[in-house]
Amino acid sequence: MTPTISRLALAALALTASILSAQPALAAVACGSGNFDAWLADFKTDAAAKGISQQAIAAGLAGVTLDQGVLNRDKSQKVFTQTFEEFSGRMVPPRMTRGSNMMKQYGSVLSRIEQTYGVPGEVLVAIWGLETDFGVNTGKFATIRSLATLAYDCRRSEQFRAELLDALRIVQRGDLAPGDMKGAWAGELGQTQFMPSSWMKYAVDFDGNGKRDLLHNAPDVLASTANYLAGYGWQKGKDWQPGAPNFAVLQQWNKSEVYSKTIAYFATQLARAP
């Protein structure tokens, strides 16, 4: 949202007042300052001020160090250049048989999820297969360490600082222990690769065991993915092909048109499978 002139003026007055104030203040440790430990200590203070418990902070951030490998991956990302034909041809055929089996294995769960959230099982199983091979490859990076590294780095510091706070909230809520939080290098967690902010907003305990577990619990994984899509406006009973109302929702899952088209294509193939 673009701030109004009056709000900008108020911000300027506040800034002037702070400059003129005689009260000394300790500046926050800057991102990329060359002192990760000092930055982390400052972050812990901020996390506590935002209502995160000392227990969650201590458990989540104990022994956390900078991961240069994560920084190297972040700075060497290549532009996605595969065509839809190339990407879908590589990703979908090897996953069709397993996807069809998953549709059968979790048929009753997927039916209840569709009744609750309006999202068909084919779409959820397609996402599940494309993201992690149905939970086989969820990633081995320590999530909190990855997020702390990316929050300290100055490229997208605020974005990852917010994600790190939400990772600690996941710990505080009791969904996962810090040692169990392993995933992709940029902090995605679980069998359909939720960022911590999405986990906090959309993760559900679908099987009623008292925990939202998107790492090990398939009903929670599938229902949470449906809840995410419903949260972005999925329309029950509407098509998901490019140009249809629900394709725009798939693009909220992944903004790459090639990836979104591949989800749609895979889901359609699963719907037609015997």
Helices (H), the chain: 5-20, 36-49, 54-61, 68-75, 84-91, 96-105, 107-117, 121-132, 143-152, 157-173, 196-202, 218-231, 247-253, 257-272
Judge whether 86 counts as a catalytic residue.
no
Q: Is 81 helix (H, G, I), strand (E, B) or coil?
A: coil
Instruction: Please name which of 210, 240, 236, 206 lies closest in space to residue 223, comparing C-alpha atoms.
Output: 206
Q: How high is the pLDDT of residue 75?
A: 87
Question: What is residue 25's predicted lDDT score, i.e. its pLDDT?
Answer: 36
Q: What is the pLDDT of residue 79?
A: 67
**Residue count of the chain:** 274
Q: Is the pLDDT of residue 220 over 50?
A: yes
pLDDT of residue 14: 38
82 three-class SS:
coil
Helix, strand or coil for residue 241? coil
At 28 the pLDDT is 62
d(CA 210, CA 231): 22
Q: What is the pLDDT of residues 60-100, one digit of tens each?
A: 999 999 999 999 999 887 767 899 999 999 999 999 999 99
Instruction: Report pLDDT for 19.
Output: 35
Cβ atoms of 185 and 139 within 8 Å: the answer is: yes
Tokens of 158: 């605020």
For residue range 165-195, what is the model confidence (pLDDT) as tens digits?
Answer: 999 999 999 999 999 999 999 999 999 999 9
Per residue in 43-66, pLDDT tens?
Answer: 999 999 999 999 999 999 999 999
Rounded to an integer, the average pLDDT of 137-164 is 96
176 burial via Cβ count (<10 Å: 0-12, 13-18, 19+):
buried
Q: What domains lie within the chain, and their CATH numbers?
A: 36-77+139-183 (1.10.8.350), 85-137+190-272 (1.10.530.10)
- Does the pLDDT of residue 11 top 90, yes or no? no
Among residues 114, 122, 131, 163, the one annotated as catalytic is 131
**Residue 274: per-residue pLDDT:** 78
Q: What is the pLDDT of residues 96-126, one digit of tens each?
A: 999 999 999 999 999 999 999 999 999 999 9
Nearest to 269 by CA among 166, 133, 157, 129: 129
Q: How high is the pLDDT of residue 116? A: 98
CA distances from 228 to 16, 121, 124 (A): 42, 14, 11
